[in-house]
Amino acid sequence: MEHPPSRSEYKKVWSALSATEDQAKLHVIGATEEAAFQATGEETLRFLQDSVGIRRDDVVLEIGCGVGRVGKVVAPLCRKWIGCDVASNMLALTANRLKGFSNVELVEISGYNLSGVADASVDVVYCTVVFMHLEAWDRYNYISEAFRVLRPAGRIYVDNINLCTDGGWQVFENHRSFSPTNRPPHMTQNSTPQEIETYLKRAGFSDVRIRTDDDWIRASGFKQEIIGNS
């Protein structure tokens, strides 16, 4: 009998979770209705605008873009939107959802890095509703890769559910009730604000800001320009 994939076999795990459009949408936000995608996409956009900002000239890259829930509201506001995902099924759904836009590029990634995206070629990297599904090392791998692909003065936004709030703790308890030998590979693992802050600072980001107004950690940072002596 074939073993179920482990958590870090992201391509296998997420290809299986996105075999149909409805299944993919349920794994993205737990709903399939367009109204829910539009409303939550706009809500995420507000968090991006309040932290890193999306400007007309920006090249913006999303890590784990899913079906293009956020891409659909960000792409009209920037020069280019690059959607990256580990699952080709997800990228096909994004392609369909954003088919009206000419400034969209889609990249299938390995699940561990942004290989294929050039150094210093992007203005904003964001990653939303993805870190809870990753191993901690891969959260850091992506933050470190974001630093590589961002231009000087580039901005990063990442989020996860906060372990340290009552609501976040409830999520932790709900998942603790799974039998240890039967944990789904994609199950949510929260972060602490300190974990995310540490990754951003260790990767080299400056002006790191962590918002914890609700049960989410929303973190942003800035890639400082190196002023040369030439």
Ligand X SMILES: C[S@@+](CC[C@H](N)C(=O)[O-])C[C@H]1O[C@@H](n2cnc3c(N)ncnc32)[C@H](O)[C@@H]1O
Footprint on this chain of ligand X (rule: CB under 6 A): 10, 14, 27-28, 63-66, 69-70, 85-87, 90, 109, 111, 128-130, 133-134, 138
* Residue nearest ligand X by beta-carbon distance: 66
Tokens 């090392």 belong to: 137
Beta-carbon contacts of 222 under 8 Å, excluding residues fewer than 6 positions away, are 153, 154, 155, 156, 205, 206, 207
Rg of the chain in Å (alpha carbons): 17
CB of 62 to ligand X, least distance (A): 6
The CA-CA-CA angle for residues 178, 137, 104, to 5°, reads 100
DSSP H or E run through 26: helix 21-29
Cα separation, 197 vs 182, in Å, equals 31
CB of 225 to ligand X, least distance (A): 28
CB of 224 to ligand X, least distance (A): 26
Q: How is residue 78 written in tokens?
A: 């920037």
Q: By C-beta, is 66 or 221 nearer to ligand X?
A: 66
Q: By C-beta, is 20 or 224 nearer to ligand X?
A: 20
Q: By C-beta, is 33 or 225 nearer to ligand X?
A: 33
* Axis-axis angle for helices 136-149, 193-203 (nearest 10): 40
Query: How far is CA 75 from each of CA 91, 121, 152, rounded to the nearest angstrom?
Result: 15, 17, 22
CB of 123 to ligand X, least distance (A): 19
CB of 79 to ligand X, least distance (A): 21
DSSP conformation letters of 53-70: ---TT-EEEEES-TTTTT
Name 158's bridge partners: 127, 219
CB of 95 to ligand X, least distance (A): 13
